[in-house]
Chains A and B, each alone.
Chain A
Amino acid sequence: MNTYCRFFAATFTVFSLLLVTLSASQADETCQSPYMAKIEGQEDFVYVWTLGVEGLGDGQDKLVTVDVNPASANYGKVIHSLSVGGRNEAHHSGFSDDRRFLWAGGLDTSKVFLFDVHSDPARPKLHKVIDDFVASSGGVVGPHTTYALPGRMMITGLSNNRDHGGRTAMVEYSNSGDYITTHWMPTDEELNGAVKSGQFADGYGYDVRALPRRNVLVSSSFTGWSNYMMDLGKLMGDAEAMQRFGNTVVVWDLHSRKPKHILDVPGAPLEVRCAWRPEHNWCLTTSALTSKIWMIHEDEKGAWQATDVADIGVAADLPFPVDISIMADDSALWVNTFMDGKTRLFDLSDPMHPKQVYEKQIGSQVNMVSQSWDGKRAYYTTSLLANWDKKGEDNQQFFKAYHWDGKALQEQFAIDFTSAKLGRPHQMRFGAYALYAGTKAEQLQDDHLASLED
């Protein structure tokens, strides 16, 4: 039997290649879902889902393609822009599992735009528009996260067509763009088998992520159409409206799509990011209003808990944490705070006690951050929501590319989306020619091995 052991030793280098291939089911957060192909090397493009601004340029929402490969002659330039008609409150986007299509939602008109990004990654094409999302789903308004599951997309809603409030559902579509089913968020009246583990069951929705190894989906909660479309200054001065924010995270059974635990996470938990490392059975979210990082984790008894593990800035100053981005090795988390325009890096070596170790002013306002798999590049955009963005001079609208050397962010280039008459840049997703190449595992051996060593 000891032939085995000799075998391992002798063929170790050969075998490390095997690991590279086997890690295929993991993915970086830029490709969002673990079911999706990912880019590990230099991304060629960033697709920026951009809100139209009335009276600026053609005034409509568009998918803007920025060339971000330093080896390209067009590095740092907008190389393509595809207008889709209307201002739909362009917001989030996500690829299908085969990464052939980018699904991009409009929170106002509830349209979902399917862009073909595989035929020519440099020039996305509008493949299909789902304009019956509300009717098909049984009244769900505000398609937000478009999240790849095998052969299908899970689309989180933010609102509904009856009261434009926060009660909503997650809606499944097939990859071909056909409606499958609707999963309403649990409410007190209809817990649907879920355990209300605290005080809240609001039925609100926002983001969703899967942790397949634990068979769970984790969803968060924001607010309904009435609030996310409202002028932010008016909203903050409206005591009624401020009572209509989500205070819950729901842990679902991934396979059966049944809600299991409703956890209290007061103050509008927004983005959810689940850890990548196989031994890390947790997800993180940040509450926008109460300005905290929350750990969503499983206790020894298999029950899921939400624990607030860190403050983000000073809550009384309303820093308003928005997008977050977890590093591929779960070592740190980028957190953007909209109101002060800062990006902050939290060290996660002890995930129950994240510590801010770095911050940088990105602009007068900042919303989204997307980083490359190796963590060496980070991209930022500014727009939060059409009516929540700052007014006047503070309303900077840009796309900025940075390099991160482990100590500081160095700006590489910036594109002013207002002077380019494009609009308000929002979500960024990466594209690469290599995605559509059956690249052999061996090519990536060295890079990837390094990331596996600990």
Chain B
Amino acid sequence: MSPGLRHSGCVLLLCCLLQPWTMAIAGEGVGAIPLIDQDGADFRLSAVHGSVVLLLFGFTHCPHICPLEMSRLTAALETLESRGQEVKAIFITVDPQRDSPAVIKSYLSHFHPTIIGLTGMPGNLDAVTDYYRVKRVQAPTTQGSYLVDHGNSLYLLNAQGEPEALVPPGLPSSHIVNLVAALQEHTH
């Protein structure tokens, strides 16, 4: 049996700190980067410009935080839907190696049906995550597998595709609902 540790704190991987990332791409630019949706079709973020967007990064093998974040997103979408408030929701994988469109599609079937799942060519995904300053680092496990340490806060994007707010995990879905409503009100 391998030695192990159970710890109540956060696990912080600092190796990611070495990874360079760029911020050069303008809003237009990131909207134009070709990505692939859960049906295998070409998708660009510009397609949702004009709408308020809830954007989450994650991966389907993510054991802890992603399912919870996806559930929170689903709950928020259900409320927004029932109130007739229009909003788009996007899940972008940080693990294109394992998350094929089919895998993402299967994963999304457990959550709100309107969530769009995206993967893409590694370079393109890098450009998108870098644009949003999302940390993304592979962390090997002892079983020869790996996890991906990643920024897991939820982005609220305005109609221009620019980030308006970052909602940290732990805040309730009602807060997301209120935030979307406030942004839409503010925009109108």
Contact = CB atoms under 8 A, between A and B. Distances in A.
A448 B5 CA distance: 11
Nearest to A436: B5
Given A6-B109, A14-B63, A443 B4 contact: yes
B143 A15 contact: no
Nearest to A439: B5
Interface string B98-121: 000000000001111000000000
Given A37-B6, A40-B4, A41-B1, A3 B111 contact: yes
Interface in A406-454: 432-435, 437-444, 447-448
B64 interface: yes
A7 B11 contact: no
B64 A441 contact: yes
B110 A438 contact: no
Contacts of B5: 37-40, 432, 434-435, 437-439
For B8, B139, B141, the residue with the greatest tally of chain A CB atoms inside 10 Å of its CB is: B8
Given A10-B110, A442-B141, A443-B141, A432 B67 contact: no
Contacts of B3: 39, 41-42, 44, 432-434, 437, 439
Nearest to B1: A41
A42 B68 CA distance: 32
* A interface majority secondary structure: helix
Interface residues of A, number: 40
Contacts, number: 101
B61 to A, nearest CB: 7
A11 interface: yes
A147 to B, nearest CB: 17
A56 interface: no
A6 B110 contact: yes
Contacts of B139: 440
Contacts of A432: 3, 5
A37 B143 contact: no
A21 interface: yes
B4 A447 contact: yes
A30 to B, nearest CB: 13
B6 A23 contact: yes
